[in-house]
Amino acid sequence: MAKINCIGILTSGGDAPGMNAAIRAVTRSAIYNGLEVKGIMRGYRGLIYDEIEPFKTNSVSNIIQQGGTILKTARSKEFQTAEGRQIAYEALQREGIDALVVIGGDGSLTGARIFAQEFNYPIVGLPGTIDNDLQGTDLTIGYDTALNTIMQAVDKIRDTASSHERLFFIEVMGRECGFLALNGAIASGAEAAIIPEMMLQQDQLADLISNGFRKSKNSSLVLVTEGDITGGAMAMAERVKIEYPQYDVRVTILGHVQRGGSPTANDRILASRMGAAAIDALLDGQRNVMIGIQNDEIVYVPFSKAIKKNKPVQQDLLNTLKVLSI
């Protein structure tokens, strides 16, 4: 196995709070271990267009508290082609970068997996996404901050919902994954969460209505995961207007507010631990794994497992929400 002297680091896909803390941790622990570090701008795009710069300890000063990513992020169509990846590989050779740390979501880690296999190139991934949709890790970097943002927003919407005695559908991010909606609902004391994982099993809206959600309350908050599977909050509200016109219904789409802001202490600590673990993993000879956390222990998750769809939702979360919203 070739010795690693220089690592490259990039952030890719959607930004997530805590990515900067991860960049800082990777950079500092690489330097601590005697490695050279290069920052690659705008994800895989930066490899193709040679946007690469040397990183020193102070390149990552004062960023642990900042949302977003100082490396910027982008979506690169070219990297999805064999020609694009060849150009990226040549850039890495030219720059003397022996291994990569990729911080991003399932798309970014899918790209990493393909690239690593094609060129037999060492890559370690960090789960950077607010959606918490990667397998093999209890948490992803950015999820806790987004959850706190959702909780604070729902607390505010509750004031209007209860004053006007309304039913609110609040749309949150997550695409195929209901963690933000489900835990956001538990944290904010909402009545229900309509999540993709439960779409096939039951008609969540009909259940909610038939359980008589206004029996003991004069307002209701329902969190809905965005995307095609649930249809989103607008579609829910339209259905209520037609099927249950007695309800005064409103919609709030939280949108990109969920992706921004200063990371929580938990996200900063998670990102710092995972960033340091990425360097330990590379120096340990680990290849093509994502750093995960399970039961508060760092684990290595093969890319093929990490990017598998349909991360299971714990049944106890569903039960807790149901029991506490009577």
Binding site for ligand ATP (CB under 6 A): 12-14, 44, 75-76, 79-80, 104-108, 110-111, 114, 129, 131
Nearer to ligand ATP, 106 or 191 (CB): 106
**Rounded to whole angstroms, how far apart are CA atoms 118 and 101?**
17
Minimum distance of ligand ATP from residue 312's CB (angstroms) = 18
- The answer to whether 170 touches 223, Cβ cutoff 8 Å, is yes
> Minimal distance in Å, beta carbon 213 to ligand ATP?
32
Q: 138 has which bridge partners?
A: none
98, 106, 131, 267: the catalytic one is 131
Are 243 and 190 within 8 A, CB to CB? Answer: no
Q: Which residue is nearest to ligand ATP (CB)?
A: 107
| Least gap, CB of 84 to ligand ATP (angstroms) | 8
- Residues forming a β-bridge with 10: 102
Q: Residue 6 or residue 114: which is nearer to ligand ATP going by CB?
A: 114
Q: Which residues of 55-80 are buried (b: 16+ CB within 10 A; e: fewer)?
A: beeebbeebbebbbbbbbbbebeebe
What element of type H or E holds 157?
Answer: helix 143-164
- Shortest Å distance, C-beta 266 to ligand ATP: 19
Q: What is d(CA 267, CA 272) in angstroms, rounded to the nearest whole number?
A: 8
CB of 285 to ligand ATP, least distance (A): 25
At a CB cut-off of 8 Å and minimum separation 6, what does 124 contact? 99, 100, 101, 102, 278, 281, 282, 286, 287, 288, 289, 290, 291
Question: Does 131 qualify as catalytic in the annotation?
Answer: yes
What 3 state SS string does 79-98 have? Answer: HHCHHHHHHHHHHHHHHCCC
Catalytic residue set:
131
